[in-house]
Structure 1
Amino acid sequence: MYSTTVAAAQESGSSWFNARRQYLTKPQIMSHRRPQSSLVNFRDHLSESYDHNDAIEIPDDEDDDDVVITETRAVPRPRVVVDVNEPIALAPLDLEPGCDVELEDHSFFRIVEHVTDDPYGRYIKGYRLRRQNHWELLMPERDHELVHMVKVDNDVNLGSPVSTVAVDSVTRKCKIIFTNQQYRHLNYRQHVLAYSDEDTEQPIFFCRYTSSDTYAGTDEGDPTGQPPVAGRIEHLRSNQADVGALITKTGQHIELQTPDHEARMSWRGEANCVLGGSHVEDRGGIRKQKYTFGDAFCGAGGTSSGALSARLKMRFAFDLDPWAIETYEHNFQHTGTQALEIDVKEFVRKVSSAPEKWFVDFLHMSPPCQPFCGANRRPNKEDDERNLAAFARAADLLELCKPRIVTLEEAKSLTDIDKRSVFKTLISYFIKKGYSIQWKVLDFPEFGVPQTRKRTIIIASGPGEKLPAFVKPTHGNEPSLRTLPTLGATLRSIPVYATHNDEFPKMKKRRDSYDPDNMLCRTVLTAPKDHHYHPSGERRFSIREYAAIQTFPHDFDFEGPYAEKLKQIGNAVPPMFAGEMFGHLKSELRAADIAEARGYWG
């Protein structure tokens, strides 16, 4: 999306966001009246696919498990053909709608509208694309792969996919193929280059992803020079792809479009593509369905507690920490979930022998975030290397568990510029498997968590799946939201006889008392901090108070000595946030399943 190259940015001494700002501040051609244009009855199916007005909302009530989904068939669109036996003519330039061109800044464009009668000059409207190996994109490098650059708002919702450029910026014609086929099934190296003269590079490109990011709270850029705090990379779905086929020189016909359910089936297998939830049981002759859930690096079970409150069917959980797994088993044994004290490498080895037993609809995985955490003041090289190795196993977990929806909770600093290479590697694991992915830094008090806690939340969807909307805040100052939490209200909610109420370390001296009713607690970590003490000033927080501040239920028990219990609490995803997130994502997936079954697209 941006015209400044890495070399240019380095030569000028500017950083990546300054280079971006140079692009964003370029003058744009604007029209103040309806000019004459050429449309030639061109169907803008890409723009149509971004209209979300027909989305179906399904209330997450007590009866939603009774939904039974059956599939129907969609109506096909007219076909087009791309034949590699016919050379792509680079001239004369054709600016008719539907044509593809390359621009002087080495970006690409599919024309939707050519405006010829405007006082500000001639220009074209359409879809702007960048090479996938552009230095700013968080994607694996692949030749002849393009990415459609779109805008998002601060909630990571897609805006208009259409851009505007001047006609004189066009340099040559090319052919862009919008496809939702997985890369391994259709790509330049295997299906164009393999049949071409080695000295001839065909101007044929494939686009299978859209990409965007945002500077929250600003229109053009962040004056503080910080990287974007949210972004979205989405695989094209069936209704966004060109309909037709690519014909190779050997005469092989490769479809450009594949139905979403076939993309899902190719990834998960036909037996694991039940819409409405892969857990199916018969209750007195009535078919019941539930979405299944797995928890990787589960810790004590904060995420699982939220998933259980969202009424997901628990399948498995694993973690290397023996005290955390003991806590997990104590609190979740009634769910029938299989809890394993095992590291991720050993889990992958175990699952590989019978992977279909471990398929889930939802997978949460939060590898240890200490290497990226600002609170990690004393880095341990050996521990950091082990934790980074756990990150590298994310791709294995995707391959083995085939989740439809994936969630991660990581340190806010994961998106910082100095962590960009690690973040790009993580995102690339998902892209290489054909997943769509989005991320955003969330402020947990806006979800009822009574502490200052910001985290990077990542949500991904598998091949053939719709990328769900991001979960929205539930607490705030707006009338439609619940009141923001306070430390005082949280402490008063704890029953007198709750477990762990009497477990707190001694304080060397009395501290100043404070009013907890108009404040949040400072971030709960894995060890006691000087500022973490009771409002009376007479003692530190108890284990139960720490757990309540992290929004664990008051009857949730922890195993191990004091230090281990606090570590489990500090490492956990707050259950209240997890419950809101999974309740929202379950509703989104159910609505998408029903829409697909009814024959709707998008």
Structure 2
Amino acid sequence: RPYYPSFKPTRNGSIQLPDIEESSYTVHELFTIKMSDTVELKEVSKNPPDQLHSGDLLRIKHIIRNVETDTVRPRGYRLRRTNYHGQLFDWKLNELVMVLHVDEDDPRPPIVQGMDEIPVEEALRKREVTITNKSYPLLSFREQPLFTQFQNPHQLKEHVFHFGRLVCRWVNIAVFNVYGKIYSGEVRSIYPGESDHIFKPSGGARQLGGGSSRETFIYIDVDEDIMMDDSQADLVELLAFEVKKAKYTFADCFCGAGGASRGADNAGLSVTWSLDKDQRAMEAYRANFPGAREYMMDAHNILTPEMSKKSLRVGILHLSPPCCYWSPAQKNDQANFDSIYTVGPILAKLKPRVATLEQTFGLATHSEHRKSFRLLINDIISRSGYSLRYKIEDLSEHGLPQRRKCLLIIAARRGNPLPPFPTPTHGPAESRLKRFTSVWDALKPLRTAGPHLYDPYHPHNALKAQCRKRYDPKCNFLRGCITGTGGDNCHYDGRRKYTVRECSLFQTFPQKHVFRGTQIDAMLQVGSAFPPVMATALFEQCITTLEAFDAGLIGPEDDFSYLDDLFDCDGNLKLKSPPDTTFSRIQRSDH
């Protein structure tokens, strides 16, 4: 776990003198606010006068008064209209998003540290706002009486905008690092426990998941087209099939030579099928995972009716769309650009319990790609029915011998818990973690294998000679990242480039992993891969979360900071006999 020598809250500390908490306060002698009220705030941005616009809103949790200065500061949750988030959410009239800004080194839950404080003078008026886990358009202004006095549709829309009911269904959490930059976040629907009311479905709705005690269910309303397309008979058959299995099932979309699948296998998943359109990569994949079904096709083809949803259904699905278009070394080709937009439709069709995605960090950080990043998230949360976390991860903190950063996304289907990201395992000495993996450490398998072992992808004597500056492999990372061409990396003796096999070790492939094709083909397979060491850590978190949920130890909206405490040193659940509930009896089910 990361080590923080000291922690002082920078947001929303405890209320203590000279601050005191008030039960109510009258603003401008016009209206009185109290806890659980929602106020509209004054607009701070300059917008064209011919457009509908407003300030944010604040759901009040505390009213704080300073007894020395007599100033008043409401503290609560900032709510913002969906159309003020770019393409992240569908733009719908009077729909809101709860915005939480949190710090990475603050151990408090986001719902606590993410509250905002404002001077009471910014409060403009009270508004009717409902925070709910119900699906759109339930509970919206559309359920209120129509305003027949407005003949002009624009006037009606303007009246609804300024006076109609507003509804918050989403949470957008932004995590700031120590330098004040957003490096990770979470986008999800409102949990039932966060709603103004806890709604129970009618008799025909499906019950999903359980509460943390698992003695009572948490009921989650879901869209019919997202969650309810399996017949009851199919569901029972699928669950019965998975109960007999010893592992959660896994599929690898855009699999390449199998970096993610290697990590899944290491984590204990059952690798079921893979998809990629590159012939050489699929030949390599077949050699490494002969028991998995292969689909050598474009990802768009998996969405056709001929591809059976039932045969493709798995518990955990990984996707690594080509990253060339989004990387800093940009390569503009339409096929790579289009592949990212197959993610949402694939999830909507296959409905895995958990999905993971790996992509270059440029998709999230480069200004020219932010629209595409937001559209990707919108596809996952709005059209596919998932909640998600995203993070720009430094893979050297998980054992990679190179300073390689990538964007990771974990998504969980509604009614399933959202797994956390793995905590760093490697760092500098003061971090109290394992030391960073060096070039020397990564190349150990080649030193121990001996010269007698022939490897067509390790012809170091045949490489073109170079004259570069030497460096100490025992104290250094790789100078650059491994790419599809190997990257600008020279052997630590300065005389040659690294071989394909050496580069594969820098990507944490085992020495036995098979590649196919020419040296150029194999290097592309290595450089494009999701490093297995990171994949293993990521999938272990997914497995741990699902096991704890299926055993009744956690609910779909629990805090997962204590997950490690639920398992012994061998990775087995400490609970000997799970509670006798419907969902805890279905062990390791993928549906």
Structure 1 length normalisation: TM-score?
Answer: 0.74
Maintained 8 Å contact 1:514/1:535: yes
Equivalent in 190, 197, 208 of residue 243 of structure 1? 197
Maintained 8 Å contact 2:192/2:219: no
Structure 2 partner of 1:132: 82
Maintained 8 Å contact 2:186/2:388: yes
Structure 2 partner of 1:502: 458
1:442 CA displacement = 1.2
Structure 1 partner of 2:440: 488
Maintained 8 Å contact 2:24/2:32: no
Structure 2 partner of 1:111: 60
Report matched runs for 1:10-409 at 5 Å: 32-38=17-23, 93-105=31-43, 106-115=55-64, 118-120=67-69, 121-135=71-85, 138-154=88-104, 158=110, 159-183=112-136, 186=138, 188=140, 191-192=143-144, 199=156, 200-201=159-160, 202-218=163-179, 221=180, 228-243=182-197, 260=218, 262-263=220-221, 267-269=226-228, 280-282=242-244, 288-333=245-290, 336-349=291-304, 353-376=307-330, 379-380=331-332, 384-409=333-358
C-alpha separation in 2, matches of 1:36 and 1:538: 70
1:339 CA displacement = 1.5
Structure 1 partner of 2:534: 577
Unpaired runs of 5+ residues, structure 2, are 1-9, 44-54, 151-155, 209-216, 560-591
SS in 1 for 2:134: coil
Change (3 A) 1:372 1:479: closer
1:207 CA displacement = 0.9
1:348 CA displacement = 1.4
SS in 1 for 2:83: coil
Maintained 8 Å contact 2:465/2:495: no
Report matched runs for 1:422-441 at 5 Å: 422-433=372-383, 434-441=385-392
Change (3 A) 1:261 1:113: closer
Change (3 A) 1:555 1:427: same
- Which residue identity is paired with 1:231? G
Change (3 A) 1:152 1:593: farther
User: What does the per-residue CA deviation read over 1:537-573, in whole Å, with 9 as the maximum and x for residues that have no partner?
Assistant: 4433222111111100111111111110000000001
Change (3 A) 1:119 1:514: closer
- Which residue identity is paired with 1:526? G
1:116 CA displacement = 5.4
SS in 1 for 2:250: strand
1:400 CA displacement = 0.9
C-alpha separation in 2, matches of 1:422 and 1:440: 16
SS in 2 for 1:305: helix
Unpaired runs of 5+ residues, structure 1, are 1-24, 41-90, 223-227, 247-251, 283-287
Equivalent in 411, 416, 419 of residue 465 of structure 1? 416
1:589 CA displacement = 2.7
Change (3 A) 1:118 1:290: farther
C-alpha separation in 1, matches of 2:454 and 2:548: 39
SS in 2 for 1:112: strand
User: What does the per-residue CA deviation read over 1:162-208, in whole Å, with 9 as the maximum and x for residues that have no partner?
Assistant: 3222332222222211111233x626375458787662415211111
1:498 CA displacement = 6.3
Q: Paired residues, what number?
A: 499
Determine what percentage of the aligned residue pairs are the same residue: 27
Maintained 8 Å contact 2:486/2:503: no
Maintained 8 Å contact 1:500/1:543: no
Change (3 A) 1:475 1:402: same
1:525 equivalenced with 2:483 (yes/no): yes
Structure 2 length normalisation: TM-score?
Answer: 0.76
1:439 CA displacement = 1.6
Alpha carbon RMSD of aligned pairs, Å? 3.7
SS in 2 for 1:35: strand
C-alpha separation in 1, matches of 2:337 and 2:414: 26
User: What does the per-residue CA deviation read over 1:399-422, in whole Å, with 9 as the maximum and x for residues that have no partner?
Assistant: 111122221111121122221111
- Which residue identity is paired with 2:82? Q
Change (3 A) 1:314 1:260: farther
